[in-house]
Structure 1
Amino acid sequence: MSGSVTFTFDPRFPFSDVAALGRKLQTSGHLVPGFTPPSVGYLDIAAIRCAHDLEGWNLVVMADRNFISRLAQACRLGAGTEPDDAQLSAVRLMAFCKAMDLDIDPSISFHELAQVQGKTAALDELAWFRAADRGGDAQAWIDFAFGRTSALTVAGPAPRETADLARPLRRWRRNYVAALKIAGLELDDLKPAARFERLIDWMYEDFQLCGPAALFAAVYFSGRRPSKMMKGLRGNDRTKALAGVRNAAWDITYLSYFADAVQASEARHVRTILATRDDALAAIAPLVLLGPEPEDYRPSLGQALKQWWPAADAIRSADRLMTCAWRVQAEGPRPLPQGASSIEDMTTEMEARLLAWRPATG
């Protein structure tokens, strides 16, 4: 009995083009699979078909605002206007997803846009995303991705929706408090390892354990962190410093939704790929897959943190986080602060402290 499996494709299926798009996307550094990829690659055409047709897995691409915004921009380009690199990346992603019949999940992208640019801009962009997602066949997107055509055939935006995208997400509000705490500890005169220890102690004793925020901090507090994780934190313009913390809270929230998708994958039989053009987010996202011990060809969290920390500090930080997670699991999650120490009060107090901070002179 043969162990091989043969898949058939419609003769019109642009196999070589789609395979090339998959390789380009997979090596771009902008996609993070929330599962252990097969040896041939997680965007290999046959691997996707095998996972879907034989094993029943659906594959979903969770895209951040960078990808979704560039996709909307590409739809509005005039004929003859070449897309820039970021827009072209978004076009390639959409072309591949359309060809392979994969869903693109914009996740919280439009909520982030509404907070940054206002609800009108977010609803406008959502309309263009809907048009791109539903309109145009795969071949048209492929041809544009390869520069064979001068414009996309997206017939205008979809009807505008009425969702309240500007309303703050409860999860983002929690992550914003965690991001403010991370920023405050970064500005304190502490050693990096001590900053992380104090963050975990604060989460356990006075707040909630926010795993994605802790992973963000584990990289941010290191001496080798990616740039622009919290823009302008030590600058003279404290308003920009606060905006940088708010942006970090969005990054943490993407991590949070990605972590949830990974955790629920078995029950839902859905595998998720995070698509982001944020280098720091792409670097941190794989950490949500890791545990205290190596497994499934993955390192332990402590081993993975060694790329940012000295070995001893990496192991110690990972152990502290895992110990806290085990305690929370045994005791049950704590409710968010109420009353005098409510989320609103904590946010106001931490924002005021951040705005009042001044760089040392002399």
Structure 2
Amino acid sequence: MKKMFMMSVPEDLEEVIDILRSKQWLLSAFDVSDDLLYNPANFIFFRKTEGIDYRLILDRNIFDYIVSSYRKPSEESHRAAIALVVFCQISDIHIDASMALHENLKIPGSSLNESLEELDFFYRVDDSPYIETLIQYAIGAKSSYEINSEMQKSKKLDEISDWYDKYEKLKGWDSLYLIMLKIVDIYLSKHKTKVKLRLLLEWMYKEFRFSIVASYYALILFSSKRPKRMMKYKETASLDIRKKQISNMTWDLFVCDYYIKQLKENQQDVEILFATADKALKELVSFFVKSSICENPWNYFREYFSTPNDFQLVETLEKSNHFTGPREFEGKYFKNPYQRYILIDELEIKLGLKRTATNSC
């Protein structure tokens, strides 16, 4: 017997969904059509019948749209962001904004307290019981909406504060930042494109350590399938702008790495979605998801890419599994415990991001 259920929805929900769907911000780890991905009934059905919980990892750009929508004159992006909040409320999807928080904390001048205050306000929007005002704002019928002004300081803030403190002790960001510096360095070199990936892989093997996510990222970057605006670094920009560009590219890599790890470590009864307004990042995350869930990524690469140069890049990546020779990284440790920071220093100076070497090592 087929399982049936009934659900009541707000009158203007279809218009809200159309607004959100036109943005194409959502990404699922599963190959589903837009008709299913942007249908609240689909999420409610599987929650009620299969016990599936849904979690949405939110990128910083949409987080900013949501927070600024309450304080600034409304724009299309603001309304679409509130449409996403409505969609998640109706679909019973939990929005996880911890990544957006962490990204903001990497911006020079940001503080943990200010970021947590911003996150608290986000929760007041996300948990607003006045969904009709959110809907009317999203469809352009009103210029404002009501938030949850009665909500006490959420325990989530303490949890994320603790999470941030623990995460700062890890080397994940520093490692990906270093690899991104090297990727940009090689990208700007005069070597032929088909050689650049090999140079990066050899450097990771000899001088640092392998990163599957960084390898796949470089594979895309040096190929004919590179998304527009994937390379954000501009040599002619000012020093401050170039630093932000490198940081932004590192975040693209970090988000891809984080999302894939979340999918692999995830419980069977939880499905994770991703939302970003960055088209290049969405395309990258989609590539990583598809290559990670298929049985043979090499077959996927050969289907995804199309030019002889691209196929040479795939072959180069495949051959990197057979590299031999001395390495700086042996077992779980570097021969020199300061290797990561020595390399960061050297590359920042080479790229003109730092004028002189520091003594931080």
Q: TM-score when scaled to structure 2? A: 0.81
- The question of whether the paired residues in 1 share the 8 Å contact of 2:63 and 2:100 is answered with yes
- The question of whether the paired residues in 1 share the 8 Å contact of 2:79 and 2:138 is answered with yes
CA deviation map 1:191-248 (0-9, x unaligned): 1221112222323343233233223222222355334334343215344323211111
Aligned counterpart, 1:103: 94
Q: Give the Cα–Cα distance (whole angstroms) in 2 for the partners of residues 87 and 323 of structure 1.
A: 47
Structure 2 unpaired stretches of 5+:
324-329, 355-361
- For residue 35 of structure 1, the aligned residue among 27, 30, 37 is 30
> How far is 1:25 from its partner?
2.8
Aligned counterpart, 2:285: 285
- For residue 123 of structure 1, the aligned residue among 93, 103, 116 is 116
My pick for the range that moved more, 251-260 or 312-321, is: 312-321
Aligned counterpart, 1:248: 249
Aligned counterpart, 2:305: 305
Structure 1 unpaired stretches of 5+:
328-332, 358-362
> How far is 1:9 from its partner?
1.2
Aligned counterpart, 2:80: 89
- Tell me, yes or no, if structure 1 residue 139 matches structure 2 residue 132: yes
Distance change in 2, residues 1:196/1:9 (3 Å): same
> How far is 1:107 from its partner?
3.3
- For residue 351 of structure 2, the aligned residue among 336, 351, 354 is 354
Identity level (%): 21
> How far is 1:281 from its partner?
0.2
Q: Give the Cα–Cα distance (whole angstroms) in 2 for the partners of residues 147 and 356 of structure 1.
A: 44
- Tell me, yes or no, if structure 1 residue 72 matches structure 2 residue 29: no
> How far is 1:145 from its partner?
1.0
Q: Give the Cα–Cα distance (whole angstroms) in 1 for the partners of residues 293 and 26 of structure 2.
A: 24
- Tell me, yes or no, if structure 1 residue 181 matches structure 2 residue 177: no
Aligned counterpart, 2:272: 272
Aligned counterpart, 2:359: none
Q: TM-score when scaled to structure 1? A: 0.80
Aligned counterpart, 1:7: 5
My pick for the range that moved more, 341-350 or 132-141, is: 132-141
CA deviation map 1:266-292 (0-9, x unaligned): x34222221111121011111112349
> How far is 1:184 from its partner?
0.7
> How far is 1:353 from its partner?
1.1
Q: Give the Cα–Cα distance (whole angstroms) in 2 for the partners of residues 208 and 19 of structure 1.
A: 49
What is the identity, as a one-letter code, of the residue corresponding to 2:140?
G
Aligned counterpart, 1:360: none
Give every structure 1 segment of 4 or more consecutive aligned residues whose post-TM-superposition deviation is greater than 4 Å.
155-162, 164-169, 292-296, 322-327
CA deviation map 1:105-160 (0-9, x unaligned): 11321121122141154233212112222233433322221123331211559749
My pick for the range that moved more, 173-182 or 219-228, is: 219-228
> How far is 1:37 from its partner?
1.6
- The question of whether the paired residues in 2 share the 8 Å contact of 1:31 and 1:274 is answered with yes
Give secondary structure in 1 for the equivalent of 2:57.
strand
- For residue 339 of structure 1, the aligned residue among 325, 336, 346 is 336
CA deviation map 1:238-261 (0-9, x unaligned): 443232111111111111111112
Q: Give the Cα–Cα distance (whole angstroms) in 2 for the partners of residues 131 and 96 of structure 1.
A: 16
Q: What is the Cα-based RMSD across aligned positions, in Å?
A: 3.3
What is the identity, as a one-letter code, of the residue corresponding to 1:317?
L
Q: Give the Cα–Cα distance (whole angstroms) in 2 for the partners of residues 73 and 236 of structure 1.
A: 28
> How far is 1:87 from its partner?
1.5
> How far is 1:341 from its partner?
5.0
Aligned counterpart, 2:232: 231
Aligned counterpart, 1:149: 142
> How far is 1:39 from its partner?
7.6
- The question of whether the paired residues in 2 share the 8 Å contact of 1:113 and 1:121 is answered with no
Aligned counterpart, 1:258: 259
Q: Give the Cα–Cα distance (whole angstroms) in 1 for the partners of residues 3 and 235 of structure 2.
A: 57
